[in-house]
Chain A
Amino acid sequence: MSQFVLRRLSLMVPTLFLALTAVFILVRVIPGDAVTLLLDSSQYSKQDADAIREQLGIADSIPVQYGKFMRQAVSGDFGNSIWSGQPVMKTLLTDRLPITFELTFFATLFAVLIGIPAGVVAAVRQDSIWDYVVRTVGIGGLAIPGFWLGTLVIVLPAYWWGWTLPIGFKTFAEDPASNLQQILVPALVMSIALAAVLMRMTRSMMLEVLRQDYVRTARAKGLDGRVVIIRHCLRNAMLPLLSIIGVQVAVLLAGTVIFETVFTLPGVGSYLYEGISRRDYPVVQGVTVMLTVAVVLLNFIVDISYRVVDPRVRV
């Protein structure tokens, strides 16, 4: 096992390296210049522009920039935000990440609590009304843009009953009731797409497992139907689901850009959005690299846990 972890870990290094290179290429090599865009809205001279380029490290040639970028990525030091002057990494880790973490955690939890039971019911009662509902929601849930659903959740209760979410973010320590309202509502909206994916996958996995011989054996020896489904079917159907949840949490994490903006939560996603709107180069770079690293790490954890849960993979 430890050998596997080591091997997987050593594979992660080139993956990270490639991912960071891809980010660099996409962000830097595509035509367009942060400084020209930055200067559009203010009055700077040519010298000022050059000075800012120097300060941001984008005055050098591409290979030199690449070296600098990699050094920054490895050390985790992306410099200070142009807008606030605060160090990017410190802001990310102390202020922004906890909120995004809380949001993503609850969204995943809701998706699992909604998606898996619904998928199981649909598979066990195949072709029933329930099954059709789950299948339609499974496709429909992926078609609804999250930002629209979020906007409706804010707009419609306000229009009908004059009810709005609490304004101004409070941490859980400051005001638990307000914090939970501010986090749980967006988390529920955010979970819809993941729940839809999980519903579809759980249903098809369960349908496959339900036809297995060992399930018939378990039924034949007189086990309670519920025990068969939970212990014999779901446990086996869960394995592929695990890897899907891993991949999808990465999608959720990236999606926080949209949901945190809709619900005005000061997390990592809205930090990126602010960075982009203000052409705050160090912020955009820092958040993009951090999210990329997080996603690669998440894939690594999924791989490892897959092996822990499924003894067959270990052979």
Chain B
Amino acid sequence: MQIQNEAIAIPVLAPHSGGYVSRWASRATRFARQKPLGAVSACIIAVIVLAAIFAPVIAPYGYAEKAGAQLSAPSRSHLMGTDRQSRDSFSRIIYGARATVKIGLGAAALGTLTALVIGMTSGFIGGWYDALLQRLIDTFMSLPGIVIVLSVVAFAGGDTVTIILVLGFLAAPGMSRVIRGATIAVRDAPYIEAARAVSATTPRLMLRHTLPNIVAPTVVVGTLAVGNAILAEAALSFLGFGVTPPTPSWGQALSVDRQYLQIAPWLAIFPGLAITVTVFSFNMLGDALRDVLDPRLRNT
């Protein structure tokens, strides 16, 4: 009998060219369909980040440039009016997004990374290490956050790096709790046991087998942390300990021209609106991601 090398028609689900891109695109479409509010929030966040990056291109005036009359009301040439030093508020809000994005994302990233290290080791190793670390975290969580940030910034000076460091480290303990919980949930899973049986080392077990399975809760707490960091930065700038003038920031805009706000309330309305919309978007996105990625965390 002759063996025929005939092609057998097997339906193969080969990824067509641009596999990653199309997979991400289809995931994004599904997310948008499931959680329209979350998708809108993601778009708003993208716009804010782009505005921060391309501020010099988008803003009609420079942030320190005299652009017209003093304290003029919103008009066609000055969408959000001008401040006491005749600077265009709209341009300053666009430039102000830079401080917000830098500190919000920076502090959240640092906090998430620290929380991952603490939460994963604490959950995975367990025993006395876990017990000790958790008591320390209890203590840190009981510190009055904004008060600590203020005293540090007052004595160390408030440059961007210091603010990111302090906000990031203060956010980490709370986030590490969630990550620890997720680690404990997967720690005893059969696949971890199997990996251990073929003598995988503890670091390998944590990085190769645990980490990919706790990405979902980590992304969720990380997203929610951005909103909190932005609020904290705004409060710091408002109190005068954040970004130093003339570099604009949304929180600072509300305190610099404080005595003029009663005759020019638009100077108060727009920066606050910018903060609220940004934080709201991050919180909505975090909520939506949680529902989609990790339904167990719902209502936490």
- Report A's interface with B, CB cutoff 8 A: 14-15, 18-19, 22-23, 26-28, 30-34, 37, 139-140, 142-149, 151-152, 154-156, 158-159, 200, 204, 250-251, 253-255, 257-258, 261, 272-273, 276-277, 279, 284-285, 287-288, 291-292, 295-296, 299
Closest residue to A142 on the B side, CB-wise? B283
The listed residue (A139, A149, A204, A295) touching B280 by CB distance below 8 A is: A139
- Residues in B with CB closer than 8 Å to A26 are 148, 151-152, 166
Interface: B43 (CB within 8 A): no
Pairs A–B under 8 Å by Cβ, sample size 5? A27-B155, A30-B155, A37-B154, A143-B277, A258-B146
Contacts A142-B283, A158-B262 given; does A30 touch B144 at CB 8 Å = no
Chain A, interface SS category: helix
A145 touches B146 (CB 8 A): no
Contacts A139-B284, A258-B239, A276-B151 given; does A18 touch B139 at CB 8 Å = yes
B251 touches A284 (CB 8 A): no
B156 touches A292 (CB 8 A): no
B142 touches A254 (CB 8 A): no
Closest residue to B279 on the A side, CB-wise? A143
- Residues in A with CB closer than 8 Å to B156 are 30-32
Chain B, interface SS category: helix
Digit string of B141-166 for contact with A (CB within 8 Å is 1, else 0)?
A: 01111111011101111000010001
Closest residue to A33 on the B side, CB-wise? B155
- Residues in B with CB closer than 8 Å to A155 are 261-262, 265, 268
The listed residue (B143, B155, B275) touching A37 by CB distance below 8 A is: B155
Question: What is the distance, in angstroms, from B186's C-beta to the closest C-beta of chain A?
Answer: 25
B151 touches A257 (CB 8 A): no
- Residues in A with CB closer than 8 Å to B138 are 15
- Residues in A with CB closer than 8 Å to B293 are none
Closest residue to B284 on the A side, CB-wise? A139
Q: Give the docked Cα–Cα distance between A279 and B258 (Å).
A: 22
B144 touches A15 (CB 8 A): no
Q: Give the docked Cα–Cα distance between A67 and B235 (Å).
A: 33
The listed residue (A23, A143, A146, A200) touching B227 by CB distance below 8 A is: A143
- Residues in B with CB closer than 8 Å to A291 are 144, 147
For the A-B complex with A148-B254, A292-B147 known, give 12 more contacts whose Cβ atoms are closer than 8 Å.
A22-B143, A31-B156, A142-B227, A143-B283, A152-B265, A152-B272, A155-B262, A200-B299, A204-B299, A276-B154, A284-B151, A295-B143
Closest residue to A276 on the B side, CB-wise? B154
- Residues in A with CB closer than 8 Å to B61 are none
The listed residue (B241, B261, B263, B283) touching A151 by CB distance below 8 A is: B261
Interface: B287 (CB within 8 A): yes
A288 touches B148 (CB 8 A): yes
Contacts A30-B156, A32-B155, A288-B151 given; does A148 touch B145 at CB 8 Å = no
| B contact residues, total (Cβ < 8 Å) | 49
A159 touches B265 (CB 8 A): yes
Interface: B240 (CB within 8 A): yes
- Residues in B with CB closer than 8 Å to A18 are 135-136, 139
A27 touches B150 (CB 8 A): no
The listed residue (B227, B239, B263, B299) touching A261 by CB distance below 8 A is: B239
B139 touches A22 (CB 8 A): yes
Question: What is the distance, in angstroms, from B135's C-beta to the closest C-beta of chain A?
Answer: 8
Closest residue to A269 on the B side, CB-wise? B147
Question: What is the distance, in angstroms, from B142's C-beta to the closest C-beta of chain A?
Answer: 5
Closest residue to B299 on the A side, CB-wise? A204
B235 touches A277 (CB 8 A): no
Interface: B276 (CB within 8 A): yes
Closest residue to A146 on the B side, CB-wise? B235
A299 touches B145 (CB 8 A): no
The listed residue (A23, A142, A152) touching B148 by CB distance below 8 A is: A23
Question: What is the distance, in angstroms, from B275's C-beta to the closest C-beta of chain A?
Answer: 5
Q: Give the docked Cα–Cα distance between A258 and B254 (Å).
A: 13
A276 touches B142 (CB 8 A): no
Digit string of B95-106 for contact with A (CB within 8 Å is 1, else 0)?
A: 000000000000
Interface: B31 (CB within 8 A): no
A143 touches B280 (CB 8 A): yes
A143 touches B276 (CB 8 A): yes
Contacts A15-B138, A37-B157, A258-B235 given; does A151 touch B268 at CB 8 Å = yes
Contacts A148-B268, A258-B146 given; does A279 touch B154 at CB 8 Å = yes
- Residues in B with CB closer than 8 Å to A19 are 139, 142-143
Closest residue to A250 on the B side, CB-wise? B144
A145 touches B143 (CB 8 A): no
Contacts A151-B254, A253-B144 given; does A145 touch B275 at CB 8 Å = yes
Interface: B117 (CB within 8 A): no
Interface: B269 (CB within 8 A): yes
**Which residues between 234 and 266 of chain B lie within 8 Å of chain A, taking CB atoms?**
234-235, 238-241, 251, 254, 258, 261-263, 265
